[in-house]
Amino acid sequence: MSPELGRFALSLACVFALAQTILPLIGAQRRDRRLMTLAPGLALGQLVALAASFLCLVNAAITNDFSVSNILENSAVAKPLLYKITGVWGNHEGSILLWAMILGICGAAVAAFGRNLPSALKARVLAVLGGVAAGFELFCLTTSDPFDRVWPAPLDGQGMNPLLQDPGLAFHPPILYTGYVGFAVPFAFAIAALIEGRVDAAWGRWVRPWAVAAWAFLTCGIALGSWWSYYVLGWGGYWFWDPVENASLIPWLSGTALMHSAVVVEKREALKIWTVLLAIGTFSFSLSGTFLVRSGILNSVHAFAQDPARGIFILGLLGLVIGGSLVLFAWRAPALTAGGLFAPVSREGALVLNNILLCSLCAVVLTGTMYPPFMSLLFGKTISVGKPFFDAATIPLAIPLFAFMGFGPMLPWKRAQLWPVLRRLWVAALITLVAFGINLWGLSGVLPVLCATFAVWVIASSATDIASRIALFRVPLSQSLQRARSLPRSAFGAALAHAGVGVTVLGLAAMSQAQHRIVEVHVGQTERLAGYDWTLTGVKTEPGPNYTAMVATIEIRHNGHIVTVMHPSKRSFNSQNQTTTEVSIHTNGLSDLYGVIGDRHGPAANPTYVLRLHYNPLAPWMWFGALIMAMGGALSLSDRRMRVGAPRRAPLPDAVAAE
Amino acid sequence: MSDELASRPSADERRAVTRRRLMMGLPLAGAGVCGIAFWKMLAGMQSGSFNPHDINAPVTGRPVPVFTLADQTPGTGFSAEDLRALSKPVLINFFASWCIPCIAEMQALLSLQKRLPIWGVAYKDKPENAAGLLKHAGNPYARIGSDREGRVAIDWGVSGVPESFLIAPGGTIVWHSAAGLDGDEVMAGLDNVLKRIGA
């Protein structure tokens, strides 16, 4: 398990990937079954080689092999075992290897689960996946080699940024990358369809589960990252409109649009060209996000070792993947035939509206993110675009999206009438109206009130959708339950995911009412925030394994009764000359009490401490809602119809079959 | 006859096909423009002519903008005329009581004020909060103005607090730091400039 073996395995994976690209493509073009059937085997071989390579790196990390420069720079003997393993992907080189391995897993999954795919389509999809993987493996081997050695090997490593030594962050990259990379599969299907010149209902049926799976992972990954920044960074915030965060939000928005437009392709064979473009666009955004962050073009708090030379390699790779696919799109897409017609007021119409709004949101976030570097390039001005722009530009687009989310799923296909649908939603409308009244009383600001009201509308109408499908309260309960059992799981999944959006938005709206105070206090002093009395009762110094901590004790009382005692601390790491704040959070599910200890000031005999106290209403709901969304996706994936009984494609004239 | 029609598309149909092709080419054109821009950025980053991480103050090397600041207890406010009338350099420091790095910077400012006068600007801060901070942490400022709305900060090109500007005699901005003055590198930079202008 030496690093050289790892590098060899990576090179082998790269060769497999190149073969996986070229041979099946030729095979599909010539209708040569032997070449086409090579694809699944090559994809599995590539995954095995990548896994071996990855294990070599993990092994080097566990055994403290500091002759590997990547381990030397990011690990140390004193680091806990969990972070030795997860630290493998906590840096640039390792994360690219992880990226390549997840791509390998996607390819192998298509090879293994895509048994009912026509052989030519499967060969082409695997070829495209192989091509992208080859690019990343070459990138890894040439400009960011994780197995690079140093000589002489030092006795101890330089250690890992203590901020990253956190279970939340340990699993954030793999989940997020699975989301990003997962969109490679719809992308590969789109390219394969463009080569074939054919997009039909079956294609939509095949693409959708992959898009849903990638979307669910991306949702979890973004939520995990946001949660991490909330409880680790200690700024009390959860989303900073940082370029790296935006780089994950942009593919999430376009991926959400893709997931919905694929439904229209599957059910009605409409929006074909658009769906293909979305599939290309979503993966392109995933790739570009990585490029912009790693090359250092975007100014972000996420510091990767930034290197313009690497940037040029990734830019070339992007040019090949994105440019190539868009050339193919411009050349082949006009030949795709238009599908089923529909009236503006119909399920398709609602889904088109969903796509327009989601893509507008995506464009807004993209503009806000790319504006500073472009202004700097064109006019030499330093500009930062922040929360005020994003809030003002996204919320007015999001509110109509929430409004239409309510009745879109209840509209019938092809042609619908609005009135009967709205009439079925009267209970939901009533609940929303009551919520509006409560929000007017409880929340300040127009946008939070509107957001919270429409969040309630989304949740209530999702419940109504399911209730009306199973005819709840209109037929006997036993009959309703029977209907519920025969209702496809994807219907439940969609309603659950929509309700999850509502829960998240409720959390976001309530968080706009968060209160905080920065105070400088002596021990024993009491401060008041949001109806709670916060008393600093003591501060002591405690040694840790590789740091010393200043631990505060804060008692929080409400009307004289003690609510909780929290121990926020500030750690000074000996080896890294760095301090981190350990936030203390007390949650009751409805609100978070959040305390941070800052600097010590004044004379040693009677010092004062800077404390930051936050009261965050409904904060946990933001991430809980994201989890519900992802569970909705998972429920939808568990629907048998997603896997079996896909509509059979009309057979193409096949040269081999005609022999 | 119908065969002939089918094989030769009419001018309208050809135009429609061309229009479709042009539309499908739009994403490619957009991606191409972005690609060229990224390539220019990368090339600029390698040659050093383009640095997206640099906070360059647009006002360095220029005369101070026109402004007037109201008094902020415990100091008196000042205006552009006051700065132009100076015969020695002065450091303008934007701060706020809500800004943790500003509080951290106070110790450094207190020792720096022995070398050159520092004038403070309370940025988007309630006067009582700013006064409270200076009471607790000590007051390094010779004069203090209040920029409650943050408008003066915009004219100065302030990107965030703490931010400091060195004003040479005559009212020219000669140096700028967007970081707190408690770092060694920042102080070395300030020392260099002070030597250069002979103070």
Nearest CB to B42; choose among A311, A334, A374: A311
Would you call A585 helix, strand, or coil by DSSP?
Answer: strand
CATH of the domain at A562: 2.60.98
Contacts B41 to A, Cβ<8 Å: 297, 373, 377
Q: pTM score, two decimals?
A: 0.83
Which residues are registered as beta bridge partners of A582? A569
Cα gap B32→B35, rounded to integer Å = 5
Chain A residues whose CB is inside 8 A of the B34 CB are 370
Contacts of B18 (CB under 8 A, 6+ apart): none
Which residues in chain B are contacts of A598 at CB distance < 8 A?
Answer: 100
As a whole number of angstroms, the longest Cα–Cα distance in chain B is 100
Percent of all residues in chain B with a pLDDT value above 90, rounded to a whole number:
13
B27:A520 CB<8 A: no
Angle of the A272-295 helix axis to the B11-47 helix axis, nearest 10: 10
Kindly give the parts of chain A with pLDDT less than 50: 645, 653-659
Structural domain contains residue A449 = no
CA distances from A451 to A121, A353, A448, A592, B55 (A): 44, 19, 5, 20, 35
Is residue A563 situated within a structural domain?
Answer: yes
Give the helix ranges, DSSP H, for A269-301.
272-295
Nearest Cβ partner for A295 among B42, B58, B159 = B42
- Note whether A326 contacts B27, CB cutoff 8 Å: yes
pLDDT of residue A384: 76
Distance CA A526, CA B32 (A): 60
Residue B84 — pLDDT band, cuts 50, 70, 90? confident
CA distance A121 to A156: 51
Interface check for B36 against chain A (CB to CB < 8 A): the answer is no
In-domain check, residue A352: no
Q: Is A618 exposed, middle or buried (0-12, 13-18, 19+ CB in 10 A)?
A: buried
**Segment A360-372, tens digit of pLDDT:** 999 999 999 888 8
In a domain, A283, yes or no: no
Kindly state whether B32 is in contact with chain A, defined as any CB-CB distance less than 8 angstroms.
Answer: yes
Q: Shortest Cα distance from B138 to chain A (angstroms)?
A: 10
> Does the residue A587 lie in any domain?
yes
Min Cα distance A218 → chain B (Å) is 24
Whether B35 and A601 lie within 8 Å, measured CB to CB = no
3-state secondary structure of A592: strand
Phi/psi for A641 (5° steps) reads: -65, -25
**CA dist., res. B98 & res. B95, Å (int):** 9
CA nearest to A174, candidates A275, A255, A105: A105
DSSP, res A269? S
- B94 in Cβ contact with B123 (< 8 Å): yes
Return the number of other C-beta atoms located less than 10 Å from residue B11's C-beta.
7
ipTM over 0.90? The verdict is no
Answer whether residue A599 is part of any domain: yes
Let me know if residue A547 belongs to a domain.
Answer: yes
Dist. CA A38–CA A56, nearest whole Å: 27
DSSP letters of chain B? Answer: -HHHHHHS--HHHHHHHHHHHHHHHHHHHHHHHHHHHHHHHHHHHHHTS--TT----TTTTSBPPP-B-EE-TTS---BHHHHHT-SS-EEEEEE-TT-HHHHHHHHHHHHHTTTS-EEEEEES--HHHHHHHHHHH----SEEEEESSSHHHHHHT--SSSEEEEEETTTEEEEEESS-TTSHHHHHHHHHHHHHTT-
Residues 132-191, chain B: which have Cβ within 8 Å of A? 136-137, 159
**Whole-number pLDDT of residue B54:** 60
Interface check B104 vs A, CB under 8 A: yes
* Closest partner CB to B42 (pick from A284, A315, A612): A315
Question: What is the spatial distance between Cα B178 and Cα B189, in angstroms, rounded to a whole number?
Answer: 12
| Residue found by looking up tokens 């949001």 in the block | A530
Chain B residues with CB-CB distance to A327 below 8 A: 28
Report CB contact under 8 Å: A326, B28: yes
> Under an 8 A CB cutoff, do A610 and B37 touch?
no
Q: Max CA-CA distance within chain A? A: 95
Of A326, A334, A601, the CB nearest to B31: A326
A243 in Cβ contact with A301 (< 8 Å): no
Distance from CA of B128 to the nearest CA of A (A): 14
**Which chain B residues are closer than 8 Å to A277 by Cβ?**
27
CA distance B52 to chain A (A): 6
Selected for mutation to probe chain A from B28, B33, B34, B38 (highest A CB count within 10 Å) is B38
Question: What is the rounded distance in angstroms from the CA atom of residue A237 to the CA atom of residue A616?
Answer: 10
Pairing of β B90-95 and β B118-123: parallel
Chain A residues near any Cβ of chain B (below 8 Å): 273, 277, 280-281, 284, 291-292, 295-299, 308-309, 311-312, 315, 318-319, 322-323, 326-327, 329-330, 333-334, 370, 372-374, 376-377, 381-382, 384, 518, 520, 598-599, 601, 608, 610, 612
A273 contact residues in B (CB cutoff 8 A)? 24
* CB nearest B39 (choices: A315, A334, A610): A315
C-alpha distance from B55 to closest chain A C-alpha (Å): 7
Residues B167-192 pLDDT 10s: 988 888 888 887 778 777 677 778 87
Torsion of CA A447, A448, A449, A450, to 10 degrees: 50
User: Count of A–B CB contacts within 8 Å?
Assistant: 92
Distance from CA of A625 to the nearest CA of B (A): 32
Number of domains in chain A: 1
What was the pLDDT predicted at B56?
Answer: 57
**pLDDT for res B1:** 39
Which amino acid, one-letter code, is at A567? H
Task: Establish if A100 belongs to a structural domain.
Answer: no
Contact B21 A330 (CB under 8 A): yes
pLDDT at B174: 85
* Contact check, Cβ <8 Å, B103/A327: no
Phi, psi of B168 (to 5 degrees): -80, 160
**B18 at A interface, C-beta within 8 A:** no
Q: Please report, for residues A33, A159, A456, the alpha-carbon distance to residue A427 in angstroms, rounded to integers and kept in the order given.
A: 58, 58, 12
Interface probe for B, chosen from A370, A377, A515 (most Cβ of B below 10 Å), is A377
Interface test with A, best of B13, B14, B41, B54 (most A CBs within 10 A): B41
Q: Does B44 touch chain A (CB under 8 A)?
A: yes
Tokens of B68: 């007037």
Q: Quote the domain boundaries for residue A580.
A: 515-619
Tell me if B52 and A318 make a contact (CB, 8 A cut-off): no
Rounded Cα–Cα distance for residues B192 and B107 (Å): 21
Point out which residues pair with B121 in neighbouring strands. Answer: B94, B145
B144-159: average pLDDT: 86
In three state form, how does the secondary structure of A503-548 look?
HHHHHHHHHCCCEEEEEEECCCCEEEECCEEEEEEEEEEEECCCEE
Q: Considering only alpha carbons, which residue of chain B is nearest residue A278?
A: B27
With tokens 């193409």, the residue in question is A652
- Considering only residues A556 and B45, tell me which one the structure prediction assigns the higher pLDDT: A556
